[in-house]
A and B are shown apart, each in its own frame.
Chain A
Amino acid sequence: MINSLDPRIAREQINEDNTIAPLTEMDNWETYEVFHQKKRGEQHEHVGIVHAPNNEMALLFAKEQYGRRGISVNIWVVKTSNVFASDYDDADIFETVPDKQYREAGGYKVMEMINKYKKENKVK
């Protein structure tokens, strides 16, 4: 076992031949997704992840990681394993064809008025 003065090395239990002792149950904690709310009533926004063994500790860590600077009034933590996600193989479901562009906000008639105003007033 490599005996280091640095506790981060010592607790990894690294053998002389550089192999690491097998992980036990609590060696690697789960990840939690963190959402913070800047103002009451506004939507919570995803800000990142924390490692934690349970909900309370996830909240504890999330507050310091993401709420320490700037403004927050509320934080949510959700186990990453509880997030149901789409598959990257299915990314084509998000593709759109040119003749559906009338459904995008940019297709509204008002754009013509905005562009005309911009042209007349030389706004870039």
Chain B
Amino acid sequence: MNVTAIKELLYKMADDLLIIGHRNSEWTGLGPILEEDIAFSSMAQDKIGQAGALFEILHELGEDEPDTVAFMRDANKMHCAHFVELPNGEYDFSIMRHFLFDHADQLRFEMLANSSFEPLAQVAKKIKGELKYHVFHANTWLVKLGNGTEESKARMQTALNESWNYALGMFEVGDFEKELQSENIFEGEEALKTRWMANIVPFIEKANLKIPDTKSWEPILGGRKGYHTEYLQQLVEEMGEVFRLDPTAQW
């Protein structure tokens, strides 16, 4: 097994989940209605839990303790896509990001359920139900808001336009694609993107929204290599604030 390649894959997945989980948790107590507040917060917790499971595997492969890895790194050591770092904005953007991200997340784990790297395949099988609910939640909101009032339709279309190139950036090709493919660990970002497109298009159509014109497609890259938006450093400082006070404290 190519451990370096596996670590790269695990880090980008874990960081995506940790950061989107944190962002989505910022809605806790502020959600549009009580029921949705609970549902969205609960899914945010799931994401942090999924990140935790991956940090555990990384720890077994020789990396630091999960809490240390999650809370002690600065932005330039993180591997998340720019998409998950962006501030929440309004609920339209948060729902659109949830939709575009969670479809990719679900498919990535679906592909990894057959991975030759057993620990990852096990996590993928374990969280299958969680991901199914997340995607069901995202689809339901997207279709509802896309077919709602003039305002909700316009907001969702704007959110899609603004999200699109960031979403494409989730599929930034890594340095070890070939190694991961040849060892049957992961089929790769391009294969994932193709499946993702096939899955999201029917729901975008059902929501009467339009994917931006191909000519304007320009994936926003760099996150996987440690280059980030200005928002990430701020986020990691806030997220790790308490932990950094005393990293040796027992919880």
CA–CA, A7 and B36, complex, Å:
14
Q: Which residues of A contact B133 (CB under 8 A)?
A: 63
Q: 21 A-B contacts, Cβ less than 8 Å apart?
A: A6-B30, A7-B30, A11-B32, A26-B149, A29-B33, A50-B35, A53-B144, A54-B144, A56-B140, A57-B141, A60-B39, A60-B137, A61-B35, A61-B36, A61-B38, A61-B39, A64-B35, A64-B42, A65-B35, A65-B39, A68-B42
Within 8 A of B (CB), among A13-61: 26, 29, 50-54, 56-57, 60-61
CA–CA, A105 and B210, complex, Å:
65
B173 contacts A by Cβ under 8 Å: no
B34 contacts A by Cβ under 8 Å: yes
A8 contacts B by Cβ under 8 Å: yes
> Beyond the given A53-B144, A64-B39, could you list 4 further A-B residue pairs with CB under 8 A, ordered by the A residue number?
A11-B32, A56-B144, A57-B141, A63-B39
User: How many interface contacts (CB-CB < 8 Å) are there between A and B?
Assistant: 36
**Which residues on B are within 8 Å of A, measured CB to CB?**
30, 32-36, 38-39, 42, 133, 136-137, 140-141, 144, 149
**Which residues on A are within 8 Å of B, measured CB to CB?**
6-8, 11, 26, 29, 50-54, 56-57, 60-61, 63-65, 68
Interchain CB contact under 8 A, B144 and A57 = yes
Interchain CB contact under 8 A, B140 and A60 = yes
- Min Cβ gap A5→B in Å is 10
The one of A8, A50, A54, A63 in contact with B30, judged by C-beta atoms closer than 8 angstroms, is A8
Q: Which residues of B contact A61 (CB under 8 A)?
A: 35-36, 38-39
Q: Which residues of B contact A7 (CB under 8 A)?
A: 30
**A64 — nearest CB in chain B belongs to which residue?**
B39
CA–CA, A61 and B136, complex, Å:
11
CA–CA, A52 and B144, complex, Å:
12
CA–CA, A75 and B35, complex, Å:
16
- Min Cβ gap B174→A in Å is 34
CA–CA, A50 and B36, complex, Å:
10
Q: Which residues of B contact A8 (CB under 8 A)?
A: 30
Interchain CB contact under 8 A, A65 and B30 = no
**A24 — nearest CB in chain B belongs to which residue?**
B149
CA–CA, A60 and B136, complex, Å:
8
Q: Which residues of B contact A54 (CB under 8 A)?
A: 144
Q: Which residues of B contact A57 (CB under 8 A)?
A: 140-141, 144
**A62 — nearest CB in chain B belongs to which residue?**
B35
Q: Which residues of A contact B136 (CB under 8 A)?
A: 60
CA–CA, A11 and B33, complex, Å:
11
**B30 — nearest CB in chain A belongs to which residue?**
A7
Q: Which residues of A contact B144 (CB under 8 A)?
A: 53-54, 56-57
Interchain CB contact under 8 A, B38 and A51 = no
CA–CA, A57 and B140, complex, Å:
7
CA–CA, A98 and B133, complex, Å:
53
CA–CA, A63 and B39, complex, Å:
9
**B45 — nearest CB in chain A belongs to which residue?**
A68
Q: Which residues of A contact B137 (CB under 8 A)?
A: 60
The one of A11, A26, A51 in contact with B35, judged by C-beta atoms closer than 8 angstroms, is A51
Q: Which residues of A contact B32 (CB under 8 A)?
A: 11
- Min Cβ gap A12→B in Å is 12
